[in-house]
Structure 1
Amino acid sequence: MKKLKPFITSIILLLTVSVCFAQSFEKDMDTTQYGRNKTVGKYADIQGIKMYYEVYGKGEPLLIIHGNGGSIKNFVYQIPYFAKKYQVILADSRAQGKTVDHTDSLTYEMISDDLNGLLDHLKIKNANVIGWSDGGIEGLLLAMNHPDKVKKLAVTGANLWPDSTAVDPFVYKMIMDINIKGADSLKRMKNPTPEMKNQLKLMHLLSYEPHIKLEALKKITCPTLVIGGDHDVIVTKHTVAIAEAITNSYLWILPNSGHATPVVYKDMFNQVVGDFFAKPFRKIDKTGRFR
Protein backbone atom coordinates (compact mmCIF):
# COMPACT_ATOMS: atom_id res chain seq x y z
CA MET A 1 0.00 0.00 0.00
CA LYS A 2 2.88 2.37 0.77
CA LYS A 3 4.18 1.92 -2.78
CA LEU A 4 0.82 2.95 -4.16
CA LYS A 5 0.50 6.16 -2.15
CA PRO A 6 2.74 8.39 -4.31
CA PHE A 7 0.98 7.27 -7.46
CA ILE A 8 -2.47 7.60 -5.95
CA THR A 9 -1.57 11.10 -4.75
CA SER A 10 -0.43 12.04 -8.25
CA ILE A 11 -3.60 10.66 -9.79
CA ILE A 12 -5.76 12.58 -7.32
CA LEU A 13 -3.88 15.75 -8.20
CA LEU A 14 -4.32 15.04 -11.92
CA LEU A 15 -8.01 14.49 -11.55
CA THR A 16 -8.23 17.70 -9.55
CA VAL A 17 -6.54 19.56 -12.40
CA SER A 18 -8.73 17.89 -15.00
CA VAL A 19 -12.11 18.37 -13.36
CA CYS A 20 -11.69 21.14 -10.80
CA PHE A 21 -13.67 23.39 -13.11
CA ALA A 22 -16.67 21.13 -12.57
CA GLN A 23 -16.53 20.56 -8.83
CA SER A 24 -19.34 23.00 -8.09
CA PHE A 25 -21.44 21.28 -10.74
CA GLU A 26 -20.49 17.67 -9.98
CA LYS A 27 -23.95 16.84 -8.65
CA ASP A 28 -25.54 17.74 -11.98
CA MET A 29 -22.90 15.84 -13.94
CA ASP A 30 -23.10 12.75 -11.76
CA THR A 31 -26.87 12.41 -11.79
CA THR A 32 -27.49 13.18 -15.45
CA GLN A 33 -28.39 10.45 -17.92
CA TYR A 34 -25.86 11.88 -20.36
CA GLY A 35 -22.87 9.60 -20.74
CA ARG A 36 -24.74 6.55 -19.50
CA ASN A 37 -28.02 6.66 -21.38
CA LYS A 38 -28.89 3.06 -22.18
CA THR A 39 -31.60 4.18 -24.58
CA VAL A 40 -29.28 6.00 -26.98
CA GLY A 41 -25.77 4.84 -25.97
CA LYS A 42 -23.95 2.79 -28.59
CA TYR A 43 -20.48 1.54 -29.49
CA ALA A 44 -18.74 1.86 -32.86
CA ASP A 45 -15.66 -0.05 -34.01
CA ILE A 46 -13.22 2.75 -34.78
CA GLN A 47 -9.48 2.26 -35.43
CA GLY A 48 -9.15 -0.78 -33.20
CA ILE A 49 -11.28 0.50 -30.31
CA LYS A 50 -14.94 0.38 -29.39
CA MET A 51 -15.87 4.04 -29.14
CA TYR A 52 -18.85 4.85 -26.92
CA TYR A 53 -21.15 7.56 -28.25
CA GLU A 54 -24.59 9.09 -27.79
CA VAL A 55 -26.78 11.08 -30.17
CA TYR A 56 -29.53 13.52 -29.21
CA GLY A 57 -31.98 15.62 -31.22
CA LYS A 58 -32.55 16.06 -34.92
CA GLY A 59 -31.32 18.50 -37.51
CA GLU A 60 -27.91 19.61 -38.73
CA PRO A 61 -25.13 17.50 -37.17
CA LEU A 62 -23.18 18.99 -34.24
CA LEU A 63 -20.18 17.14 -32.81
CA ILE A 64 -19.17 18.11 -29.23
CA ILE A 65 -15.74 17.03 -27.92
CA HIS A 66 -14.72 16.83 -24.24
CA GLY A 67 -11.35 17.51 -22.61
CA ASN A 68 -8.63 15.38 -20.98
CA GLY A 69 -10.01 12.86 -18.51
CA GLY A 70 -13.56 13.97 -19.28
CA SER A 71 -16.56 12.32 -20.87
CA ILE A 72 -19.91 12.99 -22.48
CA LYS A 73 -21.44 14.05 -19.16
CA ASN A 74 -19.28 17.19 -19.08
CA PHE A 75 -21.76 18.75 -21.51
CA VAL A 76 -24.84 18.44 -19.33
CA TYR A 77 -25.54 22.14 -20.01
CA GLN A 78 -24.97 22.03 -23.77
CA ILE A 79 -26.79 18.85 -24.81
CA PRO A 80 -30.39 19.91 -24.01
CA TYR A 81 -29.81 23.39 -25.42
CA PHE A 82 -28.36 22.36 -28.79
CA ALA A 83 -30.50 19.21 -29.17
CA LYS A 84 -33.50 21.49 -29.82
CA LYS A 85 -32.05 22.45 -33.20
CA TYR A 86 -29.25 20.01 -33.95
CA GLN A 87 -28.41 16.33 -34.12
CA VAL A 88 -25.94 16.42 -31.23
CA ILE A 89 -23.21 13.77 -31.38
CA LEU A 90 -20.93 13.13 -28.41
CA ALA A 91 -18.36 10.42 -27.76
CA ASP A 92 -16.10 9.35 -24.93
CA SER A 93 -12.67 9.88 -26.48
CA ARG A 94 -10.09 7.10 -26.68
CA ALA A 95 -8.91 5.95 -23.21
CA GLN A 96 -11.56 8.07 -21.49
CA GLY A 97 -15.04 7.45 -20.16
CA LYS A 98 -16.52 4.24 -21.55
CA THR A 99 -14.09 4.07 -24.48
CA VAL A 100 -11.35 1.66 -23.42
CA ASP A 101 -7.93 1.69 -25.08
CA HIS A 102 -5.27 -0.78 -23.95
CA THR A 103 -2.45 0.53 -26.16
CA ASP A 104 0.52 2.38 -24.67
CA SER A 105 0.49 5.45 -26.91
CA LEU A 106 -2.02 8.26 -27.17
CA THR A 107 -1.95 11.41 -29.30
CA TYR A 108 -4.38 14.16 -30.17
CA GLU A 109 -4.08 13.13 -33.82
CA MET A 110 -5.29 9.62 -32.93
CA ILE A 111 -8.32 11.04 -31.13
CA SER A 112 -9.22 13.46 -33.94
CA ASP A 113 -8.94 10.60 -36.45
CA ASP A 114 -11.23 8.53 -34.20
CA LEU A 115 -13.80 11.31 -34.35
CA ASN A 116 -13.49 11.48 -38.11
CA GLY A 117 -14.09 7.74 -38.17
CA LEU A 118 -17.16 8.16 -36.00
CA LEU A 119 -18.62 10.69 -38.44
CA ASP A 120 -17.95 8.21 -41.27
CA HIS A 121 -19.62 5.46 -39.22
CA LEU A 122 -22.70 7.68 -38.83
CA LYS A 123 -22.57 8.57 -42.55
CA ILE A 124 -22.23 12.26 -41.74
CA LYS A 125 -20.53 14.28 -44.48
CA ASN A 126 -19.84 17.32 -42.32
CA ALA A 127 -20.81 18.78 -38.97
CA ASN A 128 -20.51 21.85 -36.82
CA VAL A 129 -18.02 21.18 -34.03
CA ILE A 130 -17.58 22.38 -30.44
CA GLY A 131 -14.36 21.46 -28.62
CA TRP A 132 -13.45 22.24 -25.01
CA SER A 133 -9.84 22.15 -23.75
CA ASP A 134 -8.23 19.01 -25.24
CA GLY A 135 -11.44 18.73 -27.24
CA GLY A 136 -10.58 22.11 -28.75
CA ILE A 137 -7.18 20.77 -29.83
CA GLU A 138 -8.89 17.78 -31.42
CA GLY A 139 -11.39 20.09 -33.12
CA LEU A 140 -8.55 22.13 -34.63
CA LEU A 141 -6.85 18.94 -35.86
CA LEU A 142 -10.09 17.63 -37.30
CA ALA A 143 -10.55 20.87 -39.26
CA MET A 144 -6.91 20.79 -40.38
CA ASN A 145 -6.67 17.15 -41.42
CA HIS A 146 -10.25 16.50 -42.47
CA PRO A 147 -11.45 19.93 -43.68
CA ASP A 148 -14.42 18.49 -45.53
CA LYS A 149 -15.86 17.21 -42.23
CA VAL A 150 -16.10 20.54 -40.36
CA LYS A 151 -18.70 23.10 -41.38
CA LYS A 152 -18.08 25.54 -38.52
CA LEU A 153 -15.80 25.17 -35.52
CA ALA A 154 -15.96 26.63 -31.98
CA VAL A 155 -13.04 25.91 -29.65
CA THR A 156 -12.53 27.05 -26.07
CA GLY A 157 -9.37 26.70 -23.98
CA ALA A 158 -7.27 25.05 -26.71
CA ASN A 159 -3.49 25.22 -27.01
CA LEU A 160 -1.03 24.40 -29.79
CA TRP A 161 2.03 23.37 -27.78
CA PRO A 162 2.78 22.27 -24.21
CA ASP A 163 4.93 24.88 -22.51
CA SER A 164 4.63 27.98 -20.34
CA THR A 165 4.24 30.29 -23.34
CA ALA A 166 0.89 28.62 -24.03
CA VAL A 167 -0.14 27.35 -20.59
CA ASP A 168 -0.16 29.48 -17.43
CA PRO A 169 3.32 28.96 -15.87
CA PHE A 170 1.94 27.91 -12.47
CA VAL A 171 -0.42 25.38 -14.06
CA TYR A 172 2.25 24.13 -16.44
CA LYS A 173 4.71 23.45 -13.60
CA MET A 174 2.02 21.74 -11.53
CA ILE A 175 1.03 19.42 -14.37
CA MET A 176 4.64 18.56 -15.18
CA ASP A 177 5.37 17.79 -11.52
CA ILE A 178 2.35 15.50 -11.35
CA ASN A 179 3.37 13.71 -14.54
CA ILE A 180 6.97 13.17 -13.42
CA LYS A 181 5.96 11.90 -9.97
CA GLY A 182 3.30 9.63 -11.44
CA ALA A 183 5.69 8.16 -14.00
CA ASP A 184 8.36 7.58 -11.35
CA SER A 185 5.87 5.85 -9.04
CA LEU A 186 4.59 3.62 -11.84
CA LYS A 187 8.12 2.49 -12.77
CA ARG A 188 8.69 1.32 -9.20
CA MET A 189 5.58 -0.85 -9.16
CA LYS A 190 5.78 -4.53 -10.02
CA ASN A 191 2.24 -4.91 -11.29
CA PRO A 192 0.56 -1.56 -11.99
CA THR A 193 -3.12 -1.88 -12.84
CA PRO A 194 -4.48 -1.04 -16.31
CA GLU A 195 -6.26 1.94 -14.75
CA MET A 196 -2.97 3.34 -13.44
CA LYS A 197 -1.31 2.89 -16.83
CA ASN A 198 -4.24 4.63 -18.49
CA GLN A 199 -4.09 7.60 -16.13
CA LEU A 200 -0.38 7.98 -16.77
CA LYS A 201 -1.06 7.89 -20.50
CA LEU A 202 -3.54 10.76 -20.12
CA MET A 203 -1.05 12.67 -17.96
CA HIS A 204 1.65 12.21 -20.59
CA LEU A 205 -0.69 13.54 -23.28
CA LEU A 206 -1.52 16.58 -21.16
CA SER A 207 2.14 17.27 -20.35
CA TYR A 208 3.96 16.67 -23.62
CA GLU A 209 1.52 17.37 -26.44
CA PRO A 210 0.30 18.81 -28.79
CA HIS A 211 2.88 20.12 -31.25
CA ILE A 212 1.00 22.24 -33.77
CA LYS A 213 2.67 25.11 -35.60
CA LEU A 214 0.80 28.38 -36.02
CA GLU A 215 1.26 28.30 -39.77
CA ALA A 216 -0.43 24.89 -39.90
CA LEU A 217 -3.69 26.57 -38.85
CA LYS A 218 -3.83 28.08 -42.35
CA LYS A 219 -5.18 24.68 -43.39
CA ILE A 220 -8.38 25.52 -41.52
CA THR A 221 -10.80 27.04 -44.02
CA CYS A 222 -14.09 26.78 -42.12
CA PRO A 223 -15.43 29.71 -40.05
CA THR A 224 -13.98 29.34 -36.55
CA LEU A 225 -14.89 30.90 -33.21
CA VAL A 226 -11.87 30.90 -30.89
CA ILE A 227 -12.84 31.27 -27.21
CA GLY A 228 -10.93 31.70 -23.96
CA GLY A 229 -11.33 33.11 -20.48
CA ASP A 230 -9.28 36.17 -19.63
CA HIS A 231 -7.85 34.14 -16.72
CA ASP A 232 -7.85 30.82 -18.53
CA VAL A 233 -5.38 27.98 -18.02
CA ILE A 234 -4.35 28.91 -21.57
CA VAL A 235 -2.69 32.33 -21.63
CA THR A 236 -4.71 34.97 -23.48
CA LYS A 237 -2.02 35.90 -25.99
CA HIS A 238 -1.83 32.25 -27.09
CA THR A 239 -5.59 32.15 -27.68
CA VAL A 240 -5.32 35.42 -29.64
CA ALA A 241 -2.49 33.94 -31.74
CA ILE A 242 -4.68 30.95 -32.63
CA ALA A 243 -7.49 33.23 -33.80
CA GLU A 244 -5.10 35.41 -35.82
CA ALA A 245 -3.61 32.37 -37.56
CA ILE A 246 -6.99 31.08 -38.79
CA THR A 247 -8.19 32.86 -41.92
CA ASN A 248 -11.91 32.95 -41.17
CA SER A 249 -12.09 33.44 -37.43
CA TYR A 250 -13.84 35.36 -34.68
CA LEU A 251 -12.27 35.84 -31.26
CA TRP A 252 -14.20 35.85 -27.98
CA ILE A 253 -12.39 36.42 -24.68
CA LEU A 254 -14.74 36.19 -21.70
CA PRO A 255 -13.99 38.63 -18.87
CA ASN A 256 -13.72 37.34 -15.31
CA SER A 257 -13.46 33.78 -16.63
CA GLY A 258 -11.17 30.80 -16.21
CA HIS A 259 -11.03 27.59 -18.25
CA ALA A 260 -14.61 26.44 -17.65
CA THR A 261 -16.45 28.68 -20.09
CA PRO A 262 -19.11 26.06 -21.04
CA VAL A 263 -19.91 25.49 -17.36
CA VAL A 264 -19.52 28.75 -15.44
CA TYR A 265 -20.91 30.84 -18.31
CA LYS A 266 -23.16 28.14 -19.75
CA ASP A 267 -26.07 30.36 -20.83
CA MET A 268 -23.87 32.98 -22.49
CA PHE A 269 -21.66 30.29 -24.02
CA ASN A 270 -24.61 28.42 -25.52
CA GLN A 271 -26.19 31.57 -26.95
CA VAL A 272 -23.03 32.99 -28.50
CA VAL A 273 -21.90 29.66 -29.97
CA GLY A 274 -25.44 28.94 -31.17
CA ASP A 275 -25.60 32.33 -32.91
CA PHE A 276 -22.21 31.66 -34.49
CA PHE A 277 -23.49 28.42 -36.00
CA ALA A 278 -26.82 29.89 -37.10
CA LYS A 279 -25.65 33.13 -38.72
CA PRO A 280 -23.56 33.50 -41.89
CA PHE A 281 -19.89 34.21 -41.25
CA ARG A 282 -19.12 37.88 -41.88
CA LYS A 283 -15.75 38.85 -43.27
CA ILE A 284 -14.86 42.12 -41.58
CA ASP A 285 -12.16 44.20 -43.26
CA LYS A 286 -11.46 47.58 -44.85
CA THR A 287 -14.34 50.01 -44.20
CA GLY A 288 -16.32 47.17 -42.65
CA ARG A 289 -14.21 47.65 -39.54
CA PHE A 290 -16.14 50.84 -38.77
CA ARG A 291 -19.38 48.89 -38.36
Structure 2
Amino acid sequence: MLRTVIFAAGLVVAAPSLAQSEPAGDYAEVNGMRMYYEVSGEGEPIVVLPGAHMNIITMGRIIPLLAEAHKVYALEFQGHGRTNDIDRPITYENLADDVAAFMDAVGLERADIFGYSMGAGAGLQLSIRHPDKVGRLVAASMSYSSEGWQPVFQEMIPQMSLEMFAQFEEQWKSLAPNPDGYEAFIDRMIALEHEEFDWQEGVAALEIPVLLITSDADVTVLEHSVELFRLLGGGIMGDMGQPLPKSRLAVLPATSHTAIITQTDLLMGFIEPFLKDETPKGFFEQ
Protein backbone atom coordinates (compact mmCIF):
# COMPACT_ATOMS: atom_id res chain seq x y z
CA MET A 1 0.00 0.00 0.00
CA LEU A 2 2.94 2.33 -0.52
CA ARG A 3 1.64 5.57 -1.91
CA THR A 4 4.30 8.24 -2.33
CA VAL A 5 7.97 8.68 -3.09
CA ILE A 6 8.92 5.01 -3.32
CA PHE A 7 6.02 4.22 -5.60
CA ALA A 8 6.16 7.42 -7.63
CA ALA A 9 9.81 6.76 -8.41
CA GLY A 10 8.79 3.50 -10.02
CA LEU A 11 6.31 5.28 -12.28
CA VAL A 12 9.01 7.19 -14.11
CA VAL A 13 10.33 3.94 -15.52
CA ALA A 14 7.11 1.95 -15.56
CA ALA A 15 4.66 4.31 -17.21
CA PRO A 16 6.07 4.37 -20.76
CA SER A 17 6.72 0.62 -20.91
CA LEU A 18 3.26 -0.24 -19.58
CA ALA A 19 1.34 2.10 -21.86
CA GLN A 20 -1.11 0.28 -24.08
CA SER A 21 -4.12 0.89 -26.31
CA GLU A 22 -7.07 1.44 -23.99
CA PRO A 23 -10.79 0.78 -24.41
CA ALA A 24 -13.02 3.84 -24.71
CA GLY A 25 -13.59 5.47 -21.33
CA ASP A 26 -16.41 7.38 -19.71
CA TYR A 27 -17.16 9.50 -16.66
CA ALA A 28 -19.48 8.88 -13.72
CA GLU A 29 -20.76 11.55 -11.34
CA VAL A 30 -19.41 10.43 -7.95
CA ASN A 31 -19.55 12.49 -4.75
CA GLY A 32 -18.92 15.81 -6.50
CA MET A 33 -16.34 14.40 -8.94
CA ARG A 34 -16.37 13.33 -12.57
CA MET A 35 -14.73 9.95 -12.03
CA TYR A 36 -13.02 8.52 -15.09
CA TYR A 37 -13.38 4.79 -15.76
CA GLU A 38 -13.01 2.21 -18.50
CA VAL A 39 -14.90 -1.01 -19.14
CA SER A 40 -13.40 -3.99 -20.96
CA GLY A 41 -14.05 -7.71 -21.36
CA GLU A 42 -17.08 -9.88 -20.70
CA GLY A 43 -18.08 -12.10 -17.80
CA GLU A 44 -18.56 -11.65 -14.07
CA PRO A 45 -17.73 -8.07 -13.03
CA ILE A 46 -14.54 -7.07 -11.25
CA VAL A 47 -13.62 -3.52 -10.22
CA VAL A 48 -9.92 -2.58 -10.43
CA LEU A 49 -8.61 0.00 -7.94
CA PRO A 50 -5.17 1.47 -8.78
CA GLY A 51 -2.44 2.40 -6.36
CA ALA A 52 -1.49 5.90 -5.24
CA HIS A 53 -0.26 8.28 -7.96
CA MET A 54 -1.39 5.68 -10.52
CA ASN A 55 -3.94 5.64 -13.28
CA ILE A 56 -5.41 2.98 -15.54
CA ILE A 57 -2.44 3.13 -17.92
CA THR A 58 0.19 2.59 -15.24
CA MET A 59 -1.67 -0.44 -13.86
CA GLY A 60 -0.25 -2.19 -16.92
CA ARG A 61 -1.09 -5.68 -18.20
CA ILE A 62 -3.19 -6.83 -15.25
CA ILE A 63 -6.31 -5.10 -16.60
CA PRO A 64 -6.34 -6.70 -20.09
CA LEU A 65 -5.45 -10.06 -18.55
CA LEU A 66 -8.39 -9.84 -16.16
CA ALA A 67 -10.58 -8.78 -19.10
CA GLU A 68 -9.98 -12.13 -20.81
CA ALA A 69 -12.43 -13.76 -18.39
CA HIS A 70 -14.22 -10.87 -16.64
CA LYS A 71 -16.00 -7.62 -17.29
CA VAL A 72 -13.48 -5.18 -15.86
CA TYR A 73 -14.40 -1.77 -14.49
CA ALA A 74 -11.14 0.14 -13.98
CA LEU A 75 -11.46 3.53 -12.30
CA GLU A 76 -9.25 6.45 -11.37
CA PHE A 77 -9.48 7.85 -7.84
CA GLN A 78 -9.93 11.45 -6.69
CA GLY A 79 -7.18 13.61 -8.18
CA HIS A 80 -5.67 10.66 -10.06
CA GLY A 81 -5.41 10.39 -13.83
CA ARG A 82 -8.42 11.96 -15.50
CA THR A 83 -10.60 12.22 -12.37
CA ASN A 84 -10.74 15.75 -10.98
CA ASP A 85 -9.57 16.60 -7.49
CA ILE A 86 -12.01 18.20 -5.04
CA ASP A 87 -11.65 20.13 -1.78
CA ARG A 88 -11.85 17.04 0.43
CA PRO A 89 -9.25 14.93 2.24
CA ILE A 90 -8.09 11.77 0.48
CA THR A 91 -8.73 9.07 3.07
CA TYR A 92 -9.33 5.34 2.76
CA GLU A 93 -12.86 5.81 4.01
CA ASN A 94 -13.59 8.50 1.40
CA LEU A 95 -12.03 6.38 -1.37
CA ALA A 96 -14.13 3.38 -0.32
CA ASP A 97 -17.32 5.44 -0.31
CA ASP A 98 -16.39 6.75 -3.76
CA VAL A 99 -16.10 3.18 -5.07
CA ALA A 100 -19.52 2.34 -3.59
CA ALA A 101 -21.02 5.44 -5.22
CA PHE A 102 -19.32 4.58 -8.50
CA MET A 103 -20.85 1.11 -8.46
CA ASP A 104 -24.27 2.64 -7.90
CA ALA A 105 -23.70 5.10 -10.74
CA VAL A 106 -22.83 2.38 -13.27
CA GLY A 107 -25.46 -0.09 -12.05
CA LEU A 108 -23.15 -2.56 -10.33
CA GLU A 109 -24.99 -4.11 -7.41
CA ARG A 110 -22.12 -6.41 -6.39
CA ALA A 111 -18.70 -7.22 -7.85
CA ASP A 112 -15.34 -8.76 -7.09
CA ILE A 113 -12.62 -6.22 -6.30
CA PHE A 114 -8.93 -6.12 -7.21
CA GLY A 115 -6.96 -3.42 -5.46
CA TYR A 116 -3.25 -2.68 -5.48
CA SER A 117 -1.43 -0.64 -2.82
CA MET A 118 -3.67 2.33 -1.91
CA GLY A 119 -6.37 0.68 -3.99
CA ALA A 120 -6.10 -2.45 -1.84
CA GLY A 121 -6.64 -0.33 1.27
CA ALA A 122 -9.67 1.27 -0.36
CA GLY A 123 -10.93 -2.20 -1.31
CA LEU A 124 -10.58 -3.40 2.28
CA GLN A 125 -12.44 -0.36 3.57
CA LEU A 126 -15.12 -0.92 0.91
CA SER A 127 -15.52 -4.48 2.20
CA ILE A 128 -15.82 -3.22 5.79
CA ARG A 129 -18.12 -0.26 5.10
CA HIS A 130 -20.19 -1.69 2.22
CA PRO A 131 -19.99 -5.49 2.59
CA ASP A 132 -23.00 -6.19 0.37
CA LYS A 133 -21.18 -4.70 -2.61
CA VAL A 134 -18.17 -7.05 -2.52
CA GLY A 135 -18.14 -10.67 -3.68
CA ARG A 136 -14.42 -11.47 -3.30
CA LEU A 137 -11.55 -9.13 -2.56
CA VAL A 138 -8.06 -9.44 -4.03
CA ALA A 139 -5.80 -7.10 -2.02
CA ALA A 140 -2.22 -6.76 -3.26
CA SER A 141 0.29 -5.07 -0.94
CA MET A 142 -1.68 -3.53 1.90
CA SER A 143 -1.81 -3.22 5.67
CA TYR A 144 -4.71 -3.21 8.11
CA SER A 145 -2.81 -0.91 10.47
CA SER A 146 -0.32 1.92 10.05
CA GLU A 147 1.88 0.02 12.49
CA GLY A 148 2.42 -2.59 9.79
CA TRP A 149 4.68 -0.42 7.63
CA GLN A 150 8.39 -1.15 7.48
CA PRO A 151 10.27 1.02 10.02
CA VAL A 152 12.33 2.68 7.28
CA PHE A 153 9.13 3.84 5.57
CA GLN A 154 7.64 5.13 8.82
CA GLU A 155 10.82 7.15 9.36
CA MET A 156 10.50 8.69 5.90
CA ILE A 157 6.91 9.94 6.29
CA PRO A 158 7.71 13.07 8.35
CA GLN A 159 10.25 14.14 5.71
CA MET A 160 7.78 14.14 2.82
CA SER A 161 7.33 17.46 1.01
CA LEU A 162 6.10 18.91 -2.25
CA GLU A 163 9.68 19.14 -3.53
CA MET A 164 10.03 15.35 -3.39
CA PHE A 165 7.41 15.09 -6.14
CA ALA A 166 8.56 17.86 -8.46
CA GLN A 167 9.85 15.44 -11.10
CA PHE A 168 6.40 13.81 -11.42
CA GLU A 169 4.41 17.02 -11.86
CA GLU A 170 4.53 17.02 -15.66
CA GLN A 171 3.16 13.50 -15.89
CA TRP A 172 0.30 14.34 -13.53
CA LYS A 173 -0.59 17.52 -15.43
CA SER A 174 -0.74 15.66 -18.75
CA LEU A 175 -3.95 13.90 -17.64
CA ALA A 176 -5.39 16.09 -14.89
CA PRO A 177 -8.59 18.07 -15.64
CA ASN A 178 -7.11 20.96 -13.62
CA PRO A 179 -3.35 21.11 -14.33
CA ASP A 180 -2.96 23.92 -11.77
CA GLY A 181 -4.05 21.71 -8.87
CA TYR A 182 -0.91 19.65 -8.38
CA GLU A 183 0.27 21.25 -5.14
CA ALA A 184 -3.13 20.77 -3.47
CA PHE A 185 -3.23 17.16 -4.64
CA ILE A 186 0.23 16.39 -3.23
CA ASP A 187 -0.74 18.02 0.07
CA ARG A 188 -3.69 15.62 0.31
CA MET A 189 -1.53 12.60 -0.52
CA ILE A 190 1.09 13.54 2.08
CA ALA A 191 -1.70 13.98 4.63
CA LEU A 192 -2.85 10.44 3.82
CA GLU A 193 0.62 9.15 4.68
CA HIS A 194 0.36 10.75 8.10
CA GLU A 195 -2.99 9.12 8.81
CA GLU A 196 -2.83 6.56 11.60
CA PHE A 197 -5.29 3.69 11.31
CA ASP A 198 -6.13 0.30 12.76
CA TRP A 199 -8.83 -1.76 11.06
CA GLN A 200 -8.41 -4.96 13.07
CA GLU A 201 -11.98 -5.00 14.35
CA GLY A 202 -13.46 -4.48 10.90
CA VAL A 203 -11.20 -7.09 9.33
CA ALA A 204 -12.10 -9.70 11.95
CA ALA A 205 -15.80 -9.18 11.18
CA LEU A 206 -15.45 -9.74 7.42
CA GLU A 207 -17.30 -12.69 5.96
CA ILE A 208 -16.14 -12.41 2.33
CA PRO A 209 -13.18 -14.38 0.93
CA VAL A 210 -9.99 -12.32 0.67
CA LEU A 211 -6.86 -13.11 -1.32
CA LEU A 212 -3.91 -11.29 0.24
CA ILE A 213 -0.90 -10.78 -2.02
CA THR A 214 2.34 -9.44 -0.60
CA SER A 215 6.04 -9.76 -1.37
CA ASP A 216 9.10 -10.71 0.62
CA ALA A 217 10.50 -7.17 0.22
CA ASP A 218 7.30 -5.15 0.52
CA VAL A 219 6.53 -1.87 2.28
CA THR A 220 4.52 -3.93 4.76
CA VAL A 221 6.34 -6.04 7.33
CA LEU A 222 5.87 -9.68 6.34
CA GLU A 223 4.74 -10.68 9.83
CA HIS A 224 1.97 -8.09 9.57
CA SER A 225 0.59 -9.77 6.45
CA VAL A 226 0.57 -13.09 8.27
CA GLU A 227 -1.30 -11.49 11.17
CA LEU A 228 -3.84 -10.12 8.69
CA PHE A 229 -4.25 -13.57 7.17
CA ARG A 230 -4.90 -15.03 10.61
CA LEU A 231 -7.52 -12.35 11.32
CA LEU A 232 -9.30 -13.59 8.19
CA GLY A 233 -9.31 -17.18 9.46
CA GLY A 234 -6.16 -18.39 7.71
CA GLY A 235 -3.15 -20.23 9.01
CA ILE A 236 -4.67 -23.61 9.84
CA MET A 237 -3.17 -26.97 8.89
CA GLY A 238 -4.75 -28.68 5.92
CA ASP A 239 -5.12 -32.44 5.41
CA MET A 240 -6.85 -32.74 8.78
CA GLY A 241 -10.39 -33.25 7.58
CA GLN A 242 -11.57 -29.66 7.86
CA PRO A 243 -12.23 -27.28 4.96
CA LEU A 244 -9.54 -24.82 4.00
CA PRO A 245 -10.20 -21.17 4.95
CA LYS A 246 -12.06 -19.03 2.44
CA SER A 247 -9.22 -16.51 2.43
CA ARG A 248 -5.73 -17.06 1.00
CA LEU A 249 -2.22 -15.64 1.28
CA ALA A 250 0.38 -15.41 -1.50
CA VAL A 251 3.95 -14.14 -1.03
CA LEU A 252 5.92 -13.19 -4.15
CA PRO A 253 9.65 -13.99 -3.86
CA ALA A 254 12.45 -11.52 -4.63
CA THR A 255 9.86 -8.81 -5.24
CA SER A 256 9.67 -5.22 -4.02
CA HIS A 257 6.48 -3.25 -3.54
CA THR A 258 6.61 -1.57 -6.94
CA ALA A 259 7.47 -4.85 -8.67
CA ILE A 260 4.33 -6.65 -7.49
CA ILE A 261 2.07 -5.16 -10.14
CA THR A 262 4.54 -6.11 -12.91
CA GLN A 263 4.48 -9.83 -12.00
CA THR A 264 1.29 -10.36 -13.99
CA ASP A 265 1.71 -14.07 -14.79
CA LEU A 266 2.25 -14.89 -11.13
CA LEU A 267 -0.62 -12.64 -10.09
CA MET A 268 -3.06 -14.24 -12.52
CA GLY A 269 -1.97 -17.69 -11.34
CA PHE A 270 -3.19 -16.72 -7.87
CA ILE A 271 -6.16 -14.53 -8.79
CA GLU A 272 -8.09 -16.70 -11.25
CA PRO A 273 -8.26 -19.85 -9.07
CA PHE A 274 -9.33 -17.67 -6.14
CA LEU A 275 -12.11 -15.98 -8.10
CA LYS A 276 -13.29 -19.41 -9.31
CA ASP A 277 -13.02 -20.90 -5.78
CA GLU A 278 -10.58 -23.54 -7.03
CA THR A 279 -8.05 -25.15 -4.68
CA PRO A 280 -5.26 -27.69 -5.32
CA LYS A 281 -6.20 -31.22 -4.31
CA GLY A 282 -4.17 -32.92 -1.59
CA PHE A 283 -3.36 -36.63 -1.24
CA PHE A 284 -6.30 -37.23 1.08
CA GLU A 285 -8.95 -35.63 -1.13
CA GLN A 286 -10.94 -37.59 -3.68
- What TM-score does the superposition give when structure 2 sets the normalisation length? 0.81
Superposed displacement of residue 133, structure 1: 0.7
- Is 1:85 aligned to residue 84 of structure 2? no
Between the aligned partners of 1:102 and 1:82, the Cα distance in structure 2 is: 30
* Partner residue in 1 for 2:9: 20
Structure 1 gaps, min length 5: 1-13, 183-192
By percentage of residues, which structure has more helix?
1
Superposed displacement of residue 280, structure 1: 4.6
* Partner residue in 2 for 1:208: 195
* Partner residue in 2 for 1:32: 20
CA contact under 8 A between 1:54 and 1:90: conserved in structure 2? Answer: yes
* Partner residue in 1 for 2:174: none
CA contact under 8 A between 1:22 and 1:263: conserved in structure 2? Answer: no
Map 1:88-237 to 2 at 5 A. 88-162=72-146, 165-179=147-161, 194-209=181-196, 211-237=197-223
Fraction of identical pairs, as percent: 25
- 1:143-178 deviation digits (Å, cap 9, x = unpaired): 11111111111101111233xx41111122223211
Of stretches 225-234 and 248-257 in structure 1, the one that deviates more from structure 2 is 248-257
Q: What is the letter of the counterpart of residue 76 of structure 1? A: G
CA contact under 8 A between 1:21 and 1:259: conserved in structure 2? Answer: no
Superposed displacement of residue 266, structure 1: 1.5
Between the aligned partners of 1:214 and 1:110, the Cα distance in structure 2 is: 19
Give me the CA root mean square deviation.
2.5
- Is 1:244 aligned to residue 230 of structure 2? yes
CA contact under 8 A between 2:139 and 2:213: conserved in structure 1? Answer: yes
CA contact under 8 A between 2:137 and 2:208: conserved in structure 1? Answer: yes
Q: Measured at CA, do residues 289 and 49 of structure 1 come closer, stay the same or move farther in structure 2, by a change above 3 Å? A: farther
Between the aligned partners of 2:182 and 2:11, the Cα distance in structure 1 is: 22
Superposed displacement of residue 219, structure 1: 2.7
CA contact under 8 A between 2:273 and 2:279: conserved in structure 1? Answer: no
- 1:44-83 deviation digits (Å, cap 9, x = unpaired): 1111111111110111001111111111112221111111
Q: Measured at CA, do residues 221 and 179 of structure 1 come closer, stay the same or move farther in structure 2, by a change above 3 Å? A: farther
Q: What is the letter of the counterpart of residue 252 of structure 2? A: L
Matched positions, count: 256
| Paired residue secondary structure (2:123) | helix
Between the aligned partners of 1:22 and 1:106, the Cα distance in structure 2 is: 20
Between the aligned partners of 2:66 and 2:59, the Cα distance in structure 1 is: 10
- 1:85-107 deviation digits (Å, cap 9, x = unpaired): 10001111012111112214221
| Paired residue secondary structure (1:255) | strand
Q: What is the letter of the counterpart of residue 109 of structure 2? A: K
Between the aligned partners of 2:122 and 2:27, the Cα distance in structure 1 is: 20
Superposed displacement of residue 213, structure 1: 2.8
